Structures are given as C-alpha cells and as structure tokens.
Amino acid sequence: MLLRLQHFRHVVGSASPHGAAAQAKLTLVAASFCIFLIHLDFFALSLALPRMASELHTSPTNLHWVLSAYLLAQAAFLIPGGRLGDILGRKRILMAGLVIFGLCSLGVALAPNAGTAIAFRTVQGVGSAVIFPLAVAIVTNAFPAERVKRAIGYAYGIGAVSMALGPPFGGGITELVVWRVVPLVNVPLSIITIAIVAAGVRESRGPTVPRSIDLPGLALVAAGIALVTLAVDLTSTWQQPLATAGIAVVGLLTLAAFVQRERLAKYPLVKLDLFRNRPYVIVTLMGTVANTAMVIGVFGSTVYLQQGDGRSPFAAGLILLAASVGVGVAGPIAGRLGEHLNIPAVMGVSAAIGGIGLFMVSLGGGLGSYLPGLALFGLSYGVGYTMSNIGTQSVVARELVGEASGVTLAIVVGVAGLGVAAAATLIDIQSRSVGLTEAIEDTLRWTAAGSIVASGLLLLFARRRP
C-alpha cells in the first residue's frame, strides 16, 4: 500500500491543476489521520481512567494528571512545534512528532506505576503538540484560500470519526481485555500515519519565518503553566495553604515574565502583535471556552458514569458515544458554516447551546436527559472548537499558518488542561461533604453556566465597533 501511495505521489507531483488537486486530497487524508490518532487516544484513554487508577493504586481524580499533564505539555509546546515546522519543514517535523507520540504510547502501556504513566503522557503531549498545528498547516498550504475553511472542516470531521470510536473502544477494551491495550493501539496507528504522511504530503516551509526559537521564552511559559496547575491541584488537600499560594504566585509571576520576555526578544516565541488583531482574539477565546467545557464534560461524565452510577467501562463508552458522534459531525458543519456566516457569531451561539446541553447532563435524570444532553454539548462545543482553528487561519499570512495555529491551540488546550485540574480538585473537595455524584453534577452545572456567560460576553464584545 505504501509503494502505491509513493507511486501516486510521484504521478500527481506535477504542476498541472489535476496533479495539484490530487496532491491536496492526499494531504487532506494525511491530516485527517493525524487528527484521528490524537482524538482516538484522548477519548479512548479517558474511559480507561477508573480501571487504570485501580491497577496503579491511585484515585480517578488524582489520575486526572494523565489528561492534565498531557494537555499542559501539549499547550507549552504547540507554539514551538508550529514554528519548528515553519523553519525546518512541516512534513519532516510532523513525522518526528508522530514518532514521539507512538513511542510514548508504548511507554504508557508498559508503565508499572502512576508516576511513570504520567511521565510518558507528558512527553506524549509534546509529540501531539507538534502534530496538531502542522496537521492544520499542511492543509492550509495545500489548498487555495477560498477552499481552506471547508478543507480544515473536513479534516476535523474525518479525523473525528475516532471520537465516535474512542469511548466504546476504550471502554470495551478496558472491560474485556485490559486498559494497557488502549494506548498500545497507538503504536501501529502511528506507523500507518507516518507512512501516509511520507507518501502524501509535500514538504513546505515559511520562507520569511525567523530561523531561531526563543528557548528562554519556552522555558518560562512551560514553568509558569506547570506551577499554576500544581497550585490548583494542591488546593484539594489545602494542608499547606501558604506554600500552595506561594506556588501560585510564583507561577503567575513566571507567566508575566514570559510576556515581558516576548516583548523584548528579537525573535519572540509569540508575536504579541497578534493579540492586537481583534477577530483573532475573539475566535481564540471562544474556542477556548468551547474546548474547556467539552473536556471537563467528558472527564466529569466518565467518572460519573463509572464511579457514581456504577456502569461498566463499555456501557459508559456507549453512552458517551452520543457526545463523541456530535463532535465528529461538528467538523464538516463548522467548515461549511465558516464559509457563509460570521464565525464569532456562530461560535458564540454554539457555545451557549453547548452550555444548555451540559446543564441537561448535570441533572442526572437518567438516559432520557443524559443522551440528548451529551449529543447537544458534543455537537455545539465541537463546532466552536473546530471554528477556532478555521477562523484563525483566515487572519494570518499563509507563511505563518503553523505559528498562528500553534498559538491558538496552545491557549485553547492549555486552558482546558487547567480546567480539568480545577474540575478534578473541585469534585474531590465537594465529594467529601455531598458525595461523588452530586459533586460531579455541581461541577458540570458551574461549567455549563460559565460557558454560557463567557460566550455571551465575548459575542457582545465581538459586535462592538473597533
């Protein structure tokens, strides 16, 4: 199959319109496989957390670091990941990210304890940080400007099939075999994806991008994010309030130092001028609201269905299929809506509708409210998340698409990682007084209300004249 793909790449590698169109389609397939791999890993492993925690002798709320550490490492390295692709070649760096992702998946599968699993998940997050922005960037580079939005929407839609497969797959494998098979499946999938990228993607670079990376800035932003998240996690025990507050303050000061560093650096990691672009800021913030609420909803629902409601991993996966199918359908819908409607307006409305769906889930009224609530919040938040990637690509120069995608995804994913840590901490604290089930329901209600209020305020801000 690989030889056929390589031969096809050679045949379509001409400058003819037909050849360019065929090459673009191959690139779209490669990007879709990349997104498929990342989403399958997240949704499948989420269902394995309770069993994973039991075998590794910790609690599901403590094992949220399997998600949080992954998301935070991803957030810290999304920006340099996109920049490395712009500098050294998007195809080459994308393949390197896939190698890291596959090897670390093997490490998670073989981990003897929770600490080792979390360590491998952290490095795996670095690999995904390279894959995600460059999967978007190679599509933007391959398609003409008038077709980019729809192409990205299709990439997310095709890739999001794994969101539908992820919950029943992760739950079923965990229940019928063992949770370690869930991350192990990433290894052959990574090899297949590398082969498709090698055969179907042309190398591209950003010729005007500076040939250096701000390493001090990278160290500051990674340390700042880690310290703030650690402080959030420590509040669950609150045994040393002064130390916890001190860690939080140091983390915030480190992030402030990062901003100052970027103002003075000759070749900054993040161009702060980007945040003077009002449409870019609005789209990024709305995508952040949607993705944070979606990730908290999936995490809370997973623990609720298995630990609170007593369902098996496979049964929980089948129920969560309603949300994951909604997210999968959202990709193509977002691509088409982005071509014809005002993107911030659609994102604001979809986030508000997603909040209604998440509130329905928080009612705990059985499958009659749970299934439609999951479907509604999956579809609505999925539209908002996908549109954040589509919208940002419309307001930057094509040679900087990797960097811009990295900055947006860093914010969207980083805040989601903090959100999961905060939600797990809140659930842990509340469960001591009201029980686990009610604690999760309260947390989901607050998340739903927050997404509705935040999306409404951002929509009002977007409608103001500059």
CB of 152 closer than 8 Å to CB of 389: yes
What is the DSSP code (8-state) at residue 272? G
Question: What CATH number does the domain containing 368 carry?
Answer: 1.20.1250.20
Helix ranges (DSSP H) in 56-144: 65-88, 90-109, 114-142
Stated pTM of the model:
0.72
Q: How much is the pLDDT for 348? A: 82
Residue 195, C-beta contacts closer than 8 angstroms, at least 6 positions apart = 1, 2, 5
Mean pLDDT, rounded, for 428-433:
84
Q: How much is the pLDDT for 183? A: 92
Is 389 within a domain?
yes
Number of domains in the chain: 2
Mean pLDDT, rounded, for 201-227:
77
CA atoms within 13 A on the CB side of 239: 3
Residue 455, C-beta contacts closer than 8 angstroms, at least 6 positions apart = 286, 289, 290, 347, 348, 349, 351, 352, 355, 384
Residue-wise DSSP of 29-80: HHHHHHHHHHHHHHHHHHHHHHHHHHHTTS-TTGGGHHHHHHHHHHHHHHHH
- Shared domain for 281 and 392, answered yes or no, is yes
- Shared domain for 250 and 274, answered yes or no, is no
Is 3 within a domain?
no
Residue 28 has pLDDT above 60, yes or no: yes
Show the CA angle centred on residue 183, arms to residues 179 and 185, nearest 5°: 105
pLDDT band for position 398 (cuts 50, 70, 90): low
Q: Of 270, 268, 282, 228, which is closest to residue 392 (Cα–Cα)? A: 282
- Shared domain for 274 and 369, answered yes or no, is yes
The number of beta carbons lying within 10 Å of the beta carbon of residue 8 is: 15
- Shared domain for 275 and 381, answered yes or no, is yes
Residue 9 has pLDDT above 80, yes or no: no
Please tell me the distance from the alpha carbon of residue 218 to that of residue 38, in angstroms, as a whole number.
Answer: 23
Percent of the chain at pLDDT exceeding 70 = 85
- Shared domain for 251 and 147, answered yes or no, is no
pLDDT, tens only, 322-372: 887 787 777 777 777 766 777 778 888 888 888 898 898 888 767 777 888
Residue 437 has pLDDT above 90, yes or no: no
Residue numbers of the domain that contains 130? 11-201+269-463
Token pair, residue 314, equals: 């496979």
What is the DSSP code (8-state) at residue 444? H
Rg (Cα) of the chain, in Å, rounded? 21
Is 437 within a domain?
yes
pLDDT, tens only, 97-136: 999 999 999 999 999 888 899 899 989 988 998 888 788 7
Token pair, residue 226, equals: 């880690």
- Shared domain for 260 and 283, answered yes or no, is no
Residue 219 has pLDDT above 80, yes or no: yes
Handedness of CA 151, 281, 46, 76 (dihedral sign): positive
Q: Of 170, 181, 184, 229, which is closest to residue 50 (Cα–Cα)? A: 170
Please tell me the distance from the alpha carbon of residue 214 to that of residue 398, in angstroms, as a whole number.
Answer: 22
Is 139 within a domain?
yes
Mean pLDDT, rounded, for 9-18:
44
Is 208 within a domain?
no
Please tell me the distance from the alpha carbon of residue 406 to that of residue 80, in angstroms, as a whole number.
Answer: 7
- Shared domain for 167 and 250, answered yes or no, is no
Q: Of 196, 180, 147, 150, which is closest to residue 5 (Cα–Cα)? A: 196
Percent of the chain at pLDDT exceeding 90 = 10
Please tell me the distance from the alpha carbon of residue 377 to that of residue 387, in angstroms, as a whole number.
Answer: 15
Q: How much is the pLDDT for 234? A: 67
CB of 402 closer than 8 Å to CB of 206: yes
- Shared domain for 257 and 285, answered yes or no, is no
- Shared domain for 197 and 335, answered yes or no, is yes
Residue 430 has pLDDT above 50, yes or no: yes
Whole-angstrom distance between the N-terminal and C-terminal Cα of the chain? 53
Q: How much is the pLDDT for 210? A: 64
Q: How much is the pLDDT for 465? A: 54
Q: How much is the pLDDT for 96? A: 93
Residue 410 has pLDDT above 90, yes or no: no
Residue-wise DSSP of 220-256: HHHHHHHHHHHHHHHTTT-SSHHHHHHHHHHHHHHHH
- Shared domain for 361 and 240, answered yes or no, is no
The number of beta carbons lying within 10 Å of the beta carbon of residue 346 is: 20
Residue 10 has pLDDT above 60, yes or no: no
Residue 235, C-beta contacts closer than 8 angstroms, at least 6 positions apart = 244, 425, 429
- Shared domain for 321 and 221, answered yes or no, is no
- Shared domain for 53 and 65, answered yes or no, is yes
pLDDT band for position 192 (cuts 50, 70, 90): very high
Q: Of 420, 312, 394, 358, which is closest to residue 48 (Cα–Cα)? A: 312
Q: Say which range, 22-26, 87-91, 145-149, 308-312, has the weakest mean pLDDT.
A: 145-149
Please tell me the distance from the alpha carbon of residue 108 to that of residue 405, in angstroms, as a whole number.
Answer: 28
pLDDT band for position 243 (cuts 50, 70, 90): confident
Is 429 within a domain?
yes
Mean pLDDT, rounded, for 230-259:
77
| Helix, strand, coil share of the chain (percent; to 5) | 85, 0, 15
Residue 13 has pLDDT above 70, yes or no: no
